[in-house]
Structure 1
C-alpha cells in the first residue's frame, strides 16, 4: 500500500520533469514507480548560506583591505577555456550532435569515460585571458569575445572573435551548436545507471564559459525551471561564449523528493569531493572535475529549506573582488554578503579560481512563477553584462547589499501566523507575526529586532520555541549618499 501511494505521488510530481529534460525512458519509468555600478565600502558582517540557519550565527565579518575603493574590483576572467591544453580525460572521442533544445530529443546516453567517479583532474583554465597584439585605446571597451579596435578605427563595430570547439564529457561541441549530454558519477549498479542530462550551448563567438547548476538539493525545484528556460532561450549563432546547464545535480534526491542523497548526506557540504570517499564525496568529485572545472563563471541555484522561503537574492563573498564585480551584472537582484561554509560548491569553486555566486529563489518542493521569472531575468542580464548576448535590456536601479542580517526566532511553541510578506520593509519593534497556542488559546507576537527588509521567512506552520521564523536584512549605507 505504501509503495502504491508513493507511486501516485512521484508520478504526478516528477515524471513531467523527466520528460521535459529528456531523461532516459527507463529513468522516468523507475521514477514513476519509486549579483548596480556602486559597491558599498561599509564594513559588514558576513552571512552564510540559508541552507543551514546555524551558518548565519557562525558567520565571519566582512573585511576591507586598506586603501580599497568602491568599484575597484577587477573583472572576472573571460578567457576561452577551450583554447587551453586539453588533458587526457577531456580528449573528445566523438562530436556531439547539434540539437535544438526546444525540441523533444532522444534521451542522452552516458559517456564511457565519465561513468566513474575516478577521473583525471583536468588542467586549470589559464589565469589570464589572451592579449591581442592590437591594444585598445583608453576610452574603448572590449567585451569578452571581441577583438579590440585599432587606433583610427574607433567608430567601427568590434569584430567578434570566432569560437573554438568545446570539449565536455568526452564530446566535442562545435561552435554555433547546442546539445544534450549525459553525466553519471558511477555510483550505482552498471545496468541501473541513471545519467543526469547536461545542456550545452556553444556560441559561434568566443567568450566566457558560464555554468548553471540546480537541484544540488533534490527538493529545490525553482532552479530546475530557471535553468531550463534560460538554456532553451539561447541562440548559439548569437551567443559569445558558452553556457553549461546542469538542471538536476542530485538526481537520486530529486526522484525521492528529498533534499539529501540516499545516504542522508547534504551534497552541498562535500565539494570539491574525493574519488574514494563517501557517496556524497564521490558525486561531488565527479561533478567538480568533469564539469565545474571547465567553466569560468558559476551560478549555483537554490531555494529556502525546512519550509522556509527566500526573496530572490544572491549569496556572495563580497571580500572577493571578482565575485563582487560579478554581482553587479544581476538586474533587480538583492545581494547578501556571505562567506559561505566549507564544503559548499560556491566556496570550492571560488578556491579553484572560478568566479561563483549562489542564487536563492523561493522555497523547496514548489514551482513559483514569480521567483522563476526573477531568476531568468537576472541570468539574462548577467549574460548581457558579460557580453555573451546582445539584447534591448533596460537596467533597473541596483539593489542594496544586505548585511548584519538576523534570524528572528519564535519564543514559544504553537502555530505560526505571519502578518508580513516576503520582501516587506519593516521597522524595529514591528509585529511580524504571532504564534498561537492551540491548547491555551494564548497568542505570542514576534517582533522585528531592527529596521530592514524581510529577505527570508518561514511559511505558516507548527513551530517550537527557538524556531527561526523571519530573516531580516539591513541595507548597507553607501558613503556619500
Structure 2
C-alpha cells in the first residue's frame, strides 16, 4: 500500500474514453467503508491486556464531500502526555464533513495501556515511540507499533504527531521536522507556531518511520505531561486548522505570512553535574548568552551549591521545573539561532548532511535532541 491509497478516488472516463474527472467514493479503513460526508469512530484492536482482554484503540475518521489528501493526527503515544489528546478531540468535534476536502484520521490515544495508568510507557516499561514501524512478531511494543502503522498510518498522505515535554519538563510550542525536505519545511511553517526546530527524528519514532515511508510527518511539542494546558491546546488546535487550510482541505484561515517564525537548525541539552535541589527562575522562550546562569543545584545536606551555566547562546525551547535531580539530569533545551533555509537546488545535487553541532568539551552539554519525543 502506498501513502494515501485509502483515499477511494477513481478515475472517471468520459464517453470517448478520455479521463475527464475523478469520482470521490467511499474509502475502506480498518475493514469499514467510510463514505463521503461520513463521520465514524472505528476500533483498532492493537493488543491484549494481561487478562487476555482486547485493547481497543479508538480511531476517528471524517471523510469530506470532495477529493483531497488524507491527514492523520496522532496523540498519546506517551500515555502521560495529555495536551495532544485534547487537541485531536477538539479538532474532530468541530470539523464538519461538508467543509472538508479529503479525509481526516485521528488516533487521540495511541498508547492506551500507558494512558490508563498515567504512564509514559507500556506495561513492560518500553517506550512505544522507539519501535515504529514495528514488527508483527516482535516485542509487545513492536507489535502495537506495527498494528498502528500498517493499519492506519500507512494509509495517510501526511501526519502530525502530538507530544509534550517529558518527566517534569515543559516545551515551548514548537514544530519539529526535517527542514532539509522542502515538503516537510512547508508543512511545519504552515502550522504557524512561531518556533520550528530542525530534526530528522530518531529511528523508531513514528515521525521518522512515516517520513521514511514517504508520508510527510512532523511533530508538535507543547507544554508538560500529566496536565491539560488550555493555552497550549488552543494554540495546537489553531495550528492544525492553519495546516488544514494550507493543505487545501478546508477554506479556513491560513497563518499570517508576516508573522515571525524562528527556525532553529541546531539545539543542545544542558545537563546538571551534581545531585540535589534544582532551582531556576528561567522561563520558556528566554534568550540566553554563553556564560549566563540558568539555575543552581544545592546539596540538601552540605548546602554546597553549583551553578548551571549556558554553554551556548540561544533560546530556551524546553526546560525542567525546579525539583530534586541526580547527576546527568537534562535541565534545559537550548535552540541555537542562526543558519538559513537550505538551498533546495543545491540540496538535490549534494548528499544530505545532518545538521548536528560539533561536540563541545563542556560537562553540561550533551547532544540528545530526541530526549522528549
- TM-score norm. by structure 2 comes to 0.83
Match of 2:308 among 446, 453, 460: 446
Asked whether 1:271 is paired with 2:132, we answer yes
Contact 1:456–1:471 at 8 Å: present in 2 too? yes
Please say which of residues 236-245 and 256-265 is displaced more in the overlay. Answer: 256-265
Q: 1:181 Cα shift?
A: 0.9
Match of 1:81 in 2: 7
User: Are 2:141 and 1:280 equivalent residues in the alignment?
Assistant: yes
Query: 181, 185, 188: which one pairs with 1:320?
Result: 181
The reply to whether residue 364 of structure 1 matches residue 290 of structure 2 is no
Matched, 1:423 2:349: no
- Do the aligned partners of residues 475 and 80 (structure 1) sit closer, same or farther apart at CA in structure 2, a change above 3 Å counting? farther
1:474 CA displacement: 1.3
Q: Which has the higher strand share?
A: 2
> 1:439: how far off?
1.7
C-alpha contact 1:80 1:206 (8 A) present in aligned 2: no
- 1:203 is matched with which residue? 64
CA distance in 2, matches of 1:291, 1:79: 11
Distance 2:4 2:206 in 1: 20
* Map 1:135-214 → 2, pairs under 5 A: 163-188=24-49, 192-214=53-75
Moved over 4 A (4+): 77-80, 188-191
Name the CA distance, whole Å, in 1 between partners of 2:117 and 2:102. 35
- Pick one of 253, 256, 270 that aligns with 2:114: 253
**Counterpart residue number, 2:270:** 408
Note the C-alpha offset of 1:278: 1.1
**Partner Cα separation in structure 2 for residue 366 and residue 181 of structure 1:** 27
User: Cα distance 1:198–1:190, how it changes in 2: closer, same or farther (>3 A)?
Assistant: farther
1:44-63, Cα deviation, whole Å (9 max, x unpaired)? xxxxxxxxxxxxxxxxxxxx
Equivalent pair of 2:276/2:325 in contact (CA under 8 Å): yes
Identify the structure with bigger relative contact order (alpha carbons < 8 Å, sequence gap 6+).
Answer: 1
* RMSD, aligned CA: 2.3
SS of corresponding position for 2:333: strand
Partner of 2:78: 217
Structure 2 counterpart of 1:301: 162
CA apart distance, 1:233: 1.3
**Runs of 5+ consecutive residues of structure 2 not aligned to the other structure:** 12-17, 342-373
1:458 maps to which residue?
320
- CA apart distance, 1:190: 8.9
- CA shift, 1:172, in A, is 0.7
In the aligned structure 2, how far is the partner of 1:79 from the partner of 1:477?
Answer: 37
8 Å Cα contact 2:177-2:197 kept in structure 1: yes
Aligned equivalents of 1:347, 1:421: Cα separation in 2 = 30
Unaligned runs of 5+ in 1: 1-76, 86-131, 135-146, 148-160
**1: CA distance between counterparts of 2:10 and 2:213?**
16
Q: CA deviation at 1:191?
A: 6.7
* CA distances 1:169-218 after superposition (whole Å, capped 9, x unpaired): 11111101211111112434797223111111101111110000111111
Q: Point out the structure with max Rg over C-alpha.
A: 1
Q: How many residues align?
A: 332
Following the alignment from structure 2 to structure 1, what is the Cα–Cα distance between the partners of residues 150 and 51?
21
1:345: which partner in 2?
Answer: 206
Q: CA deviation at 1:383?
A: 0.6
